[in-house]
Chains A and B, each alone.
Chain A
């Protein structure tokens, strides 16, 4: 070999090869590139718009044209604190969310238990399809259907008539029924998954230790399924907290969602400030749920 051949540098590798080597040597760069797109969407699209919304809660409005004026003020929050109606509306919505969650938990548990522990595989599949079917129907159709059912000349009153009873469907109780119906699938599925996850050996051990069915249920099944119930309750609670369509159709009372919706055109900063209330409530709720191990059950 001549010295000229030794002096020749090795042929340059292809671009793909070089990139691959680079990512192998710097794995965090590869991770960053992969995450850039979805994180970018999350940060700019989602968090960014939340940030602008929160900024808007500090802005002012022109009292005549209702246009948003970009001057900073704490007036919106002062109004939320001073005027009683906002506290009443918030409390009313939180109470409704709590009642809906309890009703859904009570209704969902037997169904999920049957699906997870009693039903044959064929029946189980049928039930899963049945539980998921309402989710394929448009929300508006379900809400309007309930509006017809609950009306004074609707099915409920028709059934009560022979007994001389009547039911004012367009009330809080009516709305509670509608919400319970709407969010039930969201509670059944996590509870079903949670119950299915309990190893069969737990029940055998309980039986070996002398536990009858009720004791096993109370001391073994319920505690093990509780995180799943909390996981399902996240959905029912948060969905009720923010909903503005069903309350508008069923009752004439104001809820957080309807107040925000009504104010969005004429006083956007106040609406934006009021959104901080459900956000704050859900932050607390999620922290509690995390402590109750609900995130492992999702």
Chain B
């Protein structure tokens, strides 16, 4: 009986499978009615309400005790005084280090985390995607102490609503080993020079946002290109930056995204000069390695980070208490010193071990920050300035090409 039936069974089964697959493909696709397009929200202001979030401060504190934990995506070393926080609020803290802003956006997208310390090139996209919710600043008592100049910027607010608790800001530094690099550099040129004496010993941040550093150098050295904002580049400026980076690529010894890898490379002298965060300089200096970092004459890129809450956070009450904790003077002093950045709550300045920390890091010197360009996301409309600029997608594609 079976032999006679086999003839039509296999093609029929195959056809049925193909039809099922095609049907699945069609139903998975083309749902552009869902309005994923950027910036076209027809609703009024986004709500600060999150499922499970209390409505008063006391309610939040009580529900936080029941929640018992908070999980965060952070830049390495950002979470401070976690034991004190847990004792006070009953929320255990678990952290995950992100390597780049793109990495952080992926992590938040998994839904496993309650919040993120987002830089400008992540925060804007997260706000646009609806992955983070605006915050009710009445429920964050320490928010009142944050410097006015950091509140309601375009990287931490949308439509006039604040989207998180500012964390701190800092510059990307040019760092070098003082026992291998002489004379001490004061300009980014030492890296961009294609005949650099440090060929093969240069350490560069492995993310498309570094294109802005190339644009920044061109802003100083090729003013005829007319670069103003290194994150909003037209075709000509973009190509010039790409070409500059392609000239740098063969000289790069290490493309770093994992800060621990870079620390190890500097310590072993596998690299002697490169771009880094103050955190690595601090760690290496504490380890008695001769490393120095500066903001060069052309200025630098930097970041102004904000703690944001995931719109579907599983532990929203703990997250609100965490945001309040990180802008408290004690935590601000701790992270500012250990990471090497400027706090946003100036009450922290009295609590730092180094009494001159705030001055050294220019916490209230706005003029110093005028040539620090915080990370942000490139947009096609040049940030509203007019003209056509390259998009985030263009930057990422170009980066693959530059890396070879």
* Residue positions of A touching B, CB distance < 8 A: 51-52, 55, 58-59, 61-67, 69-72, 79, 83, 85-86, 88-89, 147, 151-154, 168, 170, 249, 252-254, 259, 262-267
Give which listed residue, B21, B377, B396, contacts A51 with CB less than 8 A: B21
List 18 contacting pairs A-B, 8 Å CB cutoff, sorted by A: A51-B21, A51-B24, A61-B393, A62-B38, A63-B392, A64-B391, A64-B392, A66-B105, A66-B125, A71-B29, A71-B30, A71-B32, A83-B400, A153-B270, A170-B253, A263-B396, A267-B393, A267-B397
Chain B residues closer than 8 Å to A67, beta-carbon distance: 36, 129
Q: Which of B122-168 contact A (CB under 8 A)?
A: 125, 128-129
Give which listed residue, B29, B31, B37, B400, contacts A262 with CB less than 8 A: B400
CB closest chain-B residue, reference A61: B393
Contact across chains for A152 and B128 when beta carbons are under 8 A apart: no
Contact across chains for B29 and A72 when beta carbons are under 8 A apart: yes
Instruction: Given A55-B25, A152-B268, check contact A265 B400 (CB 8 Å).
Output: no
Chain B residues closer than 8 Å to A65, beta-carbon distance: 36, 38, 125, 128-129, 392
Query: How far does the alpha carbon of A62 sit from the alpha carbon of B130 in the complex, in Å?
Result: 14
Give which listed residue, B37, B252, B391, contacts A252 with CB less than 8 A: B252
Chain B residues closer than 8 Å to A151, beta-carbon distance: 265, 268, 270
- Check: B103 CB closer than 8 A to any chain A CB: yes
- Check: B102 CB closer than 8 A to any chain A CB: yes
Chain B residues closer than 8 Å to A259, beta-carbon distance: 400
Known interface pairs A55-B25, A170-B254; 5 further A-B residue pairs with C-beta atoms within 8 A, sorted by A's residue number? A62-B38, A63-B391, A85-B401, A254-B400, A266-B393
Give which listed residue, A61, A64, A69, A153, contacts B379 with CB less than 8 A: A64
- Check: B269 CB closer than 8 A to any chain A CB: yes
Chain A residues closer than 8 Å to B220, beta-carbon distance: none
B382-404 CB contact bits vs A (8 Å, 1 = yes)? 00000000011110110111011
Instruction: Given A72-B30, A170-B270, check contact A64 B377 (CB 8 Å).
Output: yes
Query: How far does the alpha carbon of A89 sit from the alpha carbon of B254 in the complex, in Å?
Result: 18
Q: Which of B360-380 contact A (CB under 8 A)?
A: 377, 379-380
A92 to chain B, nearest CB (A): 9
Q: Which of B250-285 contact A (CB under 8 A)?
A: 252-255, 261, 264-265, 268-270
CB closest chain-B residue, reference A169: B270
- Check: B221 CB closer than 8 A to any chain A CB: no
Chain B residues closer than 8 Å to A85, beta-carbon distance: 400-401, 403-404
Contact across chains for A64 and B400 when beta carbons are under 8 A apart: no
Chain B residues closer than 8 Å to A263, beta-carbon distance: 396, 400
CB closest chain-B residue, reference A56: B28
A119 to chain B, nearest CB (A): 40
Instruction: Given A72-B30, A252-B253, check contact A79 B397 (CB 8 Å).
Output: yes
CB closest chain-B residue, reference A268: B106
Contact across chains for B393 and A63 when beta carbons are under 8 A apart: yes
CB closest chain-A residue, reference B29: A70
B18 to chain A, nearest CB (A): 12
Chain A residues closer than 8 Å to B24, beta-carbon distance: 51
Query: How far does the alpha carbon of A264 sit from the alpha carbon of B105 in the complex, in Å?
Result: 11
Query: How far does the alpha carbon of A146 sit from the alpha carbon of B200 in the complex, in Å?
Result: 20
B178 to chain A, nearest CB (A): 18
B392 to chain A, nearest CB (A): 6
Contact across chains for B28 and A265 when beta carbons are under 8 A apart: no
Contact across chains for B106 and A264 when beta carbons are under 8 A apart: yes
Chain A residues closer than 8 Å to B380, beta-carbon distance: 63-64
Query: How far does the alpha carbon of A254 sit from the alpha carbon of B403 in the complex, in Å?
Result: 7
Give which listed residue, B36, B255, B270, B391, contacts A69 with CB less than 8 A: B36
Give which listed residue, B31, B32, B392, B400, contacts A66 with CB less than 8 A: B392
Query: How far does the alpha carbon of A63 sit from the alpha carbon of B399 in the complex, in Å?
Result: 15
Query: How far does the alpha carbon of A266 sit from the alpha carbon of B394 in the complex, in Å?
Result: 11
Query: How far does the alpha carbon of A259 sit from the alpha carbon of B255 in the complex, in Å?
Result: 14
Query: How far does the alpha carbon of A62 sit from the alpha carbon of B261 in the complex, in Å?
Result: 32
Give which listed residue, A69, A147, A153, contacts B269 with CB less than 8 A: A153
Query: How far does the alpha carbon of A154 sit from the alpha carbon of B270 in the complex, in Å?
Result: 10
Chain A residues closer than 8 Å to B404, beta-carbon distance: 85, 88-89, 253-254
Contact across chains for A152 and B391 when beta carbons are under 8 A apart: no
Contact across chains for A55 and B254 when beta carbons are under 8 A apart: no
Contact across chains for B254 and A252 when beta carbons are under 8 A apart: yes
Contact across chains for B393 and A152 when beta carbons are under 8 A apart: no
Q: Which of B1-57 contact A (CB under 8 A)?
A: 21, 24-25, 28-32, 36-38
Instruction: Given A55-B29, A252-B252, A252-B253, check contact A265 B268 (CB 8 Å).
Output: no
Max chain B C-beta neighbours (<10 A), residue from A61, A83, A264, A266:
A266
Query: How far does the alpha carbon of A67 sit from the alpha carbon of B34 in the complex, in Å?
Result: 12
Instruction: Given A151-B268, A153-B269, A170-B254, check contact A70 B38 (CB 8 Å).
Output: no
B145 to chain A, nearest CB (A): 32
Give which listed residue, A69, A153, A249, A265, contacts B106 with CB less than 8 A: A265
B154 to chain A, nearest CB (A): 14
Max chain B C-beta neighbours (<10 A), residue from A55, A64, A152, A265:
A64
Chain A residues closer than 8 Å to B31, beta-carbon distance: 70
Contact across chains for A62 and B401 when beta carbons are under 8 A apart: no
CB closest chain-A residue, reference B249: A252
